[in-house]
Amino acid sequence: MESIKRRLSWIGLISLVIVIATVGVNNVVEADTNSPPGSTDDPIVTKSYVDRKIAEATGVGPVGGGAGAGESSKLQVVTVPLGKKIVVQDGGELIVRSGKAVAYSTDANGLSDMTDGLDIAPGKPVGTNHLILFPRGGRGVQADPKQKFGLIVLVRGNYQIQ
């Protein structure tokens, strides 16, 4: 009698597992598949969707099949002759590649050295291969007057050689 009760309890347990599994599979199969990709109901997205959203957020690369961002988003190699300075406009970036540079500003505010996380005061040295940010125009770099050659810099954004 005891063995029959055990068999019935195992059969009941197995039947319960089968019923639960069947209900779970039916719920998955009947899930709403009409949600557009990328919505909150369907968070799995395609690579092209992610690429498009990144391009929209950063402004770099094609958006909606159009052309890329403007020329100002490209790094330009610029030679700054000795005795001249490069003045970068609002939002520009600069990297000194060759030569010894010093910061230039028309006021007491300096340049933002993003590599070291420092503010470079006017007249102070600018590190080679450091990313320099220009939150406002009227600031730039010039070759250190103690050297014999000019500078080679990479610039992103609008600038003037003065």
Contact 138, 104 (CB under 8 A): no
Q: What is the pLDDT of residue 138?
A: 86
Cβ within 8 Å of residue 84, ≥6 positions away: 142, 143, 150, 161, 162
106-116 pLDDT, tens per residue? 888 889 999 99
Q: What is the pLDDT of residues 64-78, one digit of tens each?
A: 333 333 445 788 999
What are the pLDDT digits (tens) for 2-47? 565 555 565 666 665 576 666 655 555 555 567 666 667 766 667 7
- Write down the pTM of the prediction: 0.55
Q: Which two three-digit tokens encode residue 109?
A: 């505010």
Joined together, the tokens standing for residue 106 give: 């028309």
Name the residue among 118, 116, 79, 113 with its Cα closest to residue 99: 79
Burial (Cβ within 10 Å: 0-12, 13-18, ≥19) of residue 59: exposed
Question: What is the predicted pLDDT for the residue at 38?
Answer: 60
